[in-house]
């Protein structure tokens, strides 16, 4: 399905189930509101699904890998080869995201959307390569407009495929050396934030590399002049292929009414793009955590989202998403499995 067709399918949520969900939560054997944000999570899932109690099902994390030409400017503590090396680590089950996914029962699919490497006999890797990494956006546009559209439509396609498989929650992780530069550039382009206020240390760069990173993003924005009113133009000029794919996952989730669990800084940039395509996507967003990356709070403020967790993480990969998926599943089990005052024969609070 095309991007335009998907955007037409994103409609306001029908909130008919909200009152029933609130009654159910208030009837459970606990003081009113005592489970705090767990109750909020359960309520939002019930509204998105239109079911009380909500149904459980498959939890899916799509991990997109792509390289970035901006690394030529010395903006990362790691060489670009690490993107391909870490992609293999994902496939071998040795990364942090693999550990967390196994712990929380989350299915993972690793997708090559733009790694500057040809994987040979890479079992389990989904080859959807659009190009071998982006161009250096400090010197030219990161990609063509057609490539940007293809990256978004890839994410849409993958969600639509998964939506037929009892999908409960979807999220998207990332792997791409240099991608915090692209995410910061998108944040600055869409919000007007100054690079000095939005750019963080990414992989743990020193002060000299941070200064180079800020300067490279400033040059890229000045050179490319991305159109704030055209999210595809912003993505094409200063974005990344994996950011485009995550944007598509968000749009596809909104069209299919699947709860979308955002990760950190990279998926935050994708969420900003998705919001510019259609503000209604926010109805299915869940912000997993507050990244330690400097600009993430700016992103969340722009999206009007409150993160559930703050663990000082800045790894990416979908690690925050996996953690929140476990919490959301627990919240849905609470509303579905906990006894009511009547069923348990427990006396309610005196009026």
Which amino acids are annotated catalytic? 317
**Strand pairing partners for 286?**
261
Place of tokens 């029908």: 14
Measured CA to CA, the distance from residue 199 to residue 180 in angstroms comes to 8
Element at 77 (helix H, strand E): none
8 A C-beta contact, residue 182 and residue 238:
yes
Place of tokens 């009654």: 23
Measured CA to CA, the distance from residue 170 to residue 325 in angstroms comes to 9
The Cβ of residue 120 has, within 10 Å, a number of other Cβ atoms equal to 5
Instruction: Compute φ and ψ for 64, nearest 5 degrees.
Output: -100, 130
8 A C-beta contact, residue 154 and residue 245:
yes
Closest alpha carbon to 198 in 209, 190, 187: 187
Q: What are the structure tokens assigned to 253, written together?
A: 């989730």
Give the SS3 label for residue 197: helix
Measured CA to CA, the distance from residue 151 to residue 90 in angstroms comes to 21
The Cβ of residue 238 has, within 10 Å, a number of other Cβ atoms equal to 30
Measured CA to CA, the distance from residue 150 to residue 146 in angstroms comes to 6
């Amino acid at each position: 399905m095309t991007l335009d067709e998907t955007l037409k399918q994103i409609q306001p949520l029908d909130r008919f189930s909200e009152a029933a969900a609130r009654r159910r939560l208030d009837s459970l054997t606990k003081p009113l509101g005592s489970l705090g944000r767990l109750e909020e999570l359960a309520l939002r899932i019930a509204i998105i699904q239109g079911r009380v109690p909500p149904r459980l099902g498959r939890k899916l994390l799509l991990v997109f890998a792509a390289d970035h030409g901006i690394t030529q400017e010395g903006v990362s503590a790691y060489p670009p080869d690490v993107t391909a090396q870490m992609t293999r680590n994902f496939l071998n089950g040795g990364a942090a995201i693999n550990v967390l996914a196994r712990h929380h029962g989350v299915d993972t699919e690793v997708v090559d959307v733009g790694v500057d490497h040809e994987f040979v006999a890479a079992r389990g890797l989904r080859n959807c390569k659009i190009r071998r990494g982006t161009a250096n956006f400090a010197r030219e546009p990161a990609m063509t407009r057609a490539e940007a559209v293809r990256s978004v439509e890839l994410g849409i396609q993958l969600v639509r495929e998964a939506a037929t498989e009892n999908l409960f929650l979807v999220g998207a992780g990332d792997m791409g050396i240099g991608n915090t530069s692209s995410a910061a550039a998108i944040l600055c382009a869409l919000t007007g934030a100054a690079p000095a206020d939005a750019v963080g240390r990414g992989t743990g760069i020193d002060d000299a590399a941070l200064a180079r990173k800020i300067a490279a993003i400033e040059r890229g924005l000045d050179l490319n002049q991305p159109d704030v009113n055209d999210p595809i133009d912003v993505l094409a000029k200063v974005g990344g292929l994996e950011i485009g794919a995550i944007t598509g996952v968000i749009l596809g989730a909104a069209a299919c009414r699947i709860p979308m669990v955002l990760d950190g800084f990279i998926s935050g940039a994708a969420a900003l793009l998705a919001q510019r395509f259609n503000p209604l996507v926010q109805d299915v967003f869940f912000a997993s955590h507050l990244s330690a990356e400097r600009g993430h709070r700016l992103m969340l403020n722009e999206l009007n989202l409150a993160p559930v967790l703050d663990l000082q993480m800045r790894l990416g990969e979908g690690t925050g998403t996996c953690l929140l998926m476990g919490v959301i599943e627990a919240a849905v089990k609470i509303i579905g499995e906990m006894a009511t005052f009547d069923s348990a024969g427990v006396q309610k609070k005196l009026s």
